[in-house]
C-alpha cells in the first residue's frame, strides 16, 4: 500500500511574511510552498510628518513597516513616533507590527477593532473611530491602488463625511510577483498526479495575480479544484467572481474557507478544508 502524499499548502503572502506559518505547518506534517503573489516596493521620497495629524491610519503591517522605515530614513535613525498622535490599524497583525518597530514601541496609543471583532477591516475600525471624538486631521498610509483598496477608500470617505481633513500617503507599490519556472513545474506535477493543495489568499489583488499566472500555465481548472483559504469575505467574493469569469462552464462549488488574517486562524482554516 502506497503512503498518503504529504499535504501541500501554498502561501501567497508577500516575501518575508510566510516563514512562521510555514514552520507551523511543517510541524503538523505539511509541506509549505512559499509563492508570493505580489512584490512590494517602497515609494521613494519624504513621507508626511505624522506629528502634523491627530490620527494616522495604517491599512496593513506592510504600511506600518515601510512608512516608519521611511520616517527614519528622512529624519534620522533615532526618530520616534510622536506620542500625542494616535495610530489606528484594522487588525492585530498591524498592531503587532507597530509595537515591534523600534520607532513606535509600547508608549503611543493604538486604536483598533476589538479582539473578538467578526472581521478586521475598515468597517470594523470605523465603528471604533465613530464612537470617539473625531480627530482634527487624519493621515491614511496605504499601498498602491487596486481591488484591495476599496475598503480604504470607504474609510477615507467616512472620515471626510465626518468633517475630518484627510491626506492619503502611498508608502509602497504592489506588483505581481513572477514565480520561477521550477515552482510552476512543481505545481504542474501536482496537477498531473491529481493532488490538490491548500492555497492562502490574503488580498483581492493577490487573487488576480495568482489567477493570471496559473492561467498562463494552464492550471486554472486544477486550481479551482484545490482548497482555498481567504482572509476576508470580500477576498472570498472576489475569488468566486474570478473563477466564474475564467471558468464559466464549471458546475462544482469551490472548496473555500474564510478566516481572520492571523497565523493561528489561517492554520486552523487550512486544516479544516484539508
**For 202-220, how does the pLDDT look when each residue is reduced to its tens digit (9 = 90+)?**
999 999 999 999 999 999 9
Alpha-carbon span 111 to 134, nearest angstrom: 12
User: Do residues 154 and 56 both lie within one domain?
Assistant: yes
pLDDT digits (tens, 9 = 90+) for 230-250: 999 999 999 999 999 999 988
User: Do residues 142 and 201 both lie within one domain?
Assistant: no
- Examine the fold and report which residue of 174, 197, 220 is the final residue of a domain before the chain moves on: 174
> What is the DSSP-derived secondary structure letter of residue 146?
S
In this prediction the pTM is 0.87
Mean pLDDT, rounded, of the chain: 91
Which is nearest to 212 in space by CA: 253, 245, 255?
245
User: Do residues 60 and 80 both lie within one domain?
Assistant: yes
- Examine the fold and report which residue of 174, 197, 225 is the final residue of a domain before the chain moves on: 174
Structurally, how many domains does the chain consist of?
2
DSSP string across 106-134 = SSS-EE---TT-S--SHHHHHHHHHTSPP
User: Do residues 87 and 13 both lie within one domain?
Assistant: no
**pLDDT level of residue 118 (50, 70, 90 thresholds):** confident
User: Do residues 138 and 26 both lie within one domain?
Assistant: no
* Helix, strand counts (H, E) of the chain: 10, 12
Q: Match 507599490 to its residue by C-alpha cell.
A: 173
Which is nearest to 204 in space by CA: 179, 238, 254, 173?
238
Residues 6 or more apart whose CB falls under 8 angstroms from that of 165 comprise 136, 137, 138
| Mean pLDDT within 54-59 | 96
**pLDDT level of residue 146 (50, 70, 90 thresholds):** very low
| Mean pLDDT within 95-112 | 92
| Mean pLDDT within 80-91 | 94
Three cell numbers at 8? 501541500
- Examine the fold and report which residue of 174, 196, 231 is the final residue of a domain before the chain moves on: 174
User: Do residues 185 and 159 both lie within one domain?
Assistant: no
Per-residue pLDDT at 252: 84
CATH number, domain with residue 164: 3.40.50.10090
User: Do residues 199 and 140 both lie within one domain?
Assistant: no
Residue of 18 and 252 predicted with greater confidence: 18
Domain range enclosing 53: 40-174
Three cell numbers at 246? 475564467
Residue 1 lies in a domain: no
Which is nearest to 84 in space by CA: 29, 135, 122?
135
3 state DSSP class of 11: strand
User: Do residues 49 and 167 both lie within one domain?
Assistant: yes
Is the separation of the CB atoms in 219 and 187 below 8 Å?
yes
User: Do residues 57 and 148 both lie within one domain?
Assistant: yes
Residue 3 lies in a domain: no
Residue 163 lies in a domain: yes
**pLDDT level of residue 132 (50, 70, 90 thresholds):** very high
Residue 2 lies in a domain: no
User: Do residues 140 and 181 both lie within one domain?
Assistant: no
Per-residue pLDDT at 151: 47
Per-residue pLDDT at 1: 43
User: Do residues 28 and 44 both lie within one domain?
Assistant: no
In this predicted structure, the answer to whether residue 5 has a pLDDT above a threshold of 90 is no
H or E element that contains 236: helix 233-246
Amino acid at each position: 500500500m502506497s503512503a498518503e502524499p504529504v499535504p501541500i499548502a501554498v502561501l501567497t503572502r508577500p516575501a518575508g511574511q510566510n516563514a512562521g506559518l510555514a514552520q507551523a505547518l511543517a510541524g503538523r506534517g505539511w509541506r509549505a510552498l512559499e509563492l508570493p503573489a505580489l512584490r512590494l516596493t517602497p515609494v521613494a521620497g519624504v513621507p508626511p510628518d505624522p506629528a502634523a495629524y491627530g490620527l494616522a491610519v495604517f491599512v496593513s503591517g506592510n504600511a506600518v513597516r515601510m512608512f516608519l522605515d521611511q520616517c527614519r530614513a528622512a529624519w534620522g535613525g533615532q526618530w520616534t513616533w510622536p506620542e500625542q498622535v494616535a495610530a489606528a490599524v484594522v487588525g492585530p497583525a498591524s498592531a503587532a507590527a507597530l509595537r515591534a518597530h523600534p520607532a513606535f514601541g509600547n508608549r503611543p496609543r493604538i486604536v483598533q477593532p476589538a479582539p473578538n471583532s467578526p472581521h478586521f477591516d475598515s468597517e470594523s475600525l470605523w465603528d471604533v473611530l465613530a464612537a470617539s471624538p473625531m480627530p482634527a486631521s487624519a493621515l491614511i498610509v496605504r499601498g498602491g491602488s487596486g481591488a484591495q483598496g476599496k475598503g480604504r477608500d470607504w474609510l477615507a470617505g467616512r472620515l471626510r463625511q465626518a468633517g475630518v481633513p484627510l491626506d492619503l500617503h502611498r508608502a509602497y507599490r504592489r506588483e505581481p510577483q513572477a514565480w520561477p519556472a521550477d515552482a510552476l513545474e512543481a505545481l504542474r506535477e501536482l496537477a498531473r498526479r491529481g493532488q490538490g493543495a491548500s492555497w492562502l489568499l490574503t488580498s483581492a489583488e493577490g487573487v488576480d495575480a495568482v489567477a493570471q499566472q496559473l492561467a498562463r500555465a494552464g492550471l486554472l481548472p486544477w486550481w479551482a479544484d484545490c482548497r482555498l483559504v481567504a482572509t476576508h469575505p470580500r477576498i472570498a467574493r472576489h475569488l468566486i467572481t474570478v473563477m466564474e469569469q475564467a471558468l464559466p462552464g464549471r458546475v462544482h462549488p469551490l472548496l473555500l474557507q474564510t478566516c481572520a488574517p492571523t497565523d493561528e486562524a489561517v492554520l486552523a482554516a487550512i486544516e479544516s478544508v484539508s
